[in-house]
Amino acid sequence: MGRSVSRWAFEVDDKRMETIVNGFICVIAIVALGLGARSSEGLAQEPSSVVETYGAWTVQCKQVRNKKKGKSRKTCQMSQEIKQKRTGTRIIMLAISSVDESKFKITIISPFGLLLSEGIKLTLDKEELMSINFKTCLPIGCFSELQLANEQLRPVRSSKTLGVHTVGFNGQKLLTNLSLKGFDAAIKRLQSPM
């Protein structure tokens, strides 16, 4: 048993070890640069959707692809949703989308249990703005829609609260106030999507 076993299969001197380490560092750097170039290519692409917050308003924009025409277009909407604190149930949601450069579509989704024949009355800082009829009810709530020209939204831009008045099926008058904090910035963003 006079056999000796070496701990290393080969011996490496300091200069050889430095060359190996430097070569390994170069390989890592090349791989990292390649991965960095790929991720920067991904960053250069336009996002498919964007969600931004302006005060009490959320602006959502996304790319919608028309399969028949093979083109995509950007669609945006701004919205505010009021929920019941205890249960998280939606009380009211108001969404605004751009129809064209001078018109906006406003959609209000209200809960069930309202007297539909009374419609909705909107107020700005407690001054009556307009009345809207309910259009239909779907499983997510009852819908009201209207179109407004850009000029008709001017008073909204300088107000603090938008009151949404409804009447419960039992005749009880209900009021939900939406904050207009950030409304002006959100509507400007809506007009210049993504």
Residue type, 88: G
189 in helix, strand or coil? helix
| Mean pLDDT score across all residues of the chain | 80
The pair of three-digit structure tokens given for residue 185, joined into one six-digit string: 């910035």
pLDDT exceeds 60 at position 41: no
pLDDT exceeds 80 at position 3: no
Is residue 48 within 8 A of residue 72, CB to CB? The reply is no
pTM of the complete model: 0.71
Average pLDDT on 182-193 reads 87
The residue count for the chain: 194
The pair of three-digit structure tokens given for residue 174, joined into one six-digit string: 């209900």
Q: Scan for tokens 């028309």, then name that residue.
A: 66
Confidence at residue 66, expressed as pLDDT on a 0 to 100 scale? 73
Confidence at residue 94, expressed as pLDDT on a 0 to 100 scale? 97
Is residue 153 within 8 A of residue 107, CB to CB? The reply is no
Confidence at residue 194, expressed as pLDDT on a 0 to 100 scale? 56
Is residue 186 within 8 A of residue 50, CB to CB? The reply is no
Q: Each residue of 55-105: pLDDT tens digit? A: 999 999 888 777 777 777 778 899 999 999 999 999 999 999 988 878 999
Which run of H or E residues covers position 53?
A: strand 49-54
12 in helix, strand or coil? coil
In whole angstroms, give the CA distance from residue 165 to residue 174. Answer: 6
In whole angstroms, give the CA distance from residue 194 to residue 190. Answer: 9
Is residue 61 within 8 A of residue 49, CB to CB? The reply is yes
Is residue 169 within 8 A of residue 117, CB to CB? The reply is no
Confidence at residue 45, expressed as pLDDT on a 0 to 100 scale? 59
Bigger pLDDT: 49 vs 70 = 49
